[in-house]
């Protein structure tokens, strides 16, 4: 009794492991967006504090 086997392959694995290359412009845009987030948060907190203070004075 002879048995023959075929090589098992997982065709879907190769596509998942491929890294998508990001262009320099996209990388710069992402860096600039992340760079601006702390300033935007500080600005929102500052405006909320000023509005809250003015509302407290009005009452």
Q: Could you tell me the residue ranges of all domains in the chain?
A: 13-58
Residue 22 pLDDT:
83
* pLDDT at res. 41: 97
Backbone angles phi, psi at 3, to 5 degrees: -120, 135
| DSSP state string for 17-50 | HPPPPPPHHHHHHHHHHHHHHHHHHHHHHHHHHH
Q: Kindly report, residue by residue over 1-59, the tens digit of the pLDDT.
A: 566 766 666 555 555 555 678 899 999 988 999 999 999 999 999 999 999 999 999 98
């Amino acid at each position: 009794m002879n048995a023959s086997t075929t090589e098992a392959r997982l065709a879907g694995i190769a596509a998942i492991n491929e890294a998508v290359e990001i262009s320099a412009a996209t990388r710069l845009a992402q860096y600039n967006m992340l760079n601006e987030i702390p300033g935007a948060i500080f600005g929102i907190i500052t405006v909320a504090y000023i509005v809250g203070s003015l509302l407290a004075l009005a009452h």
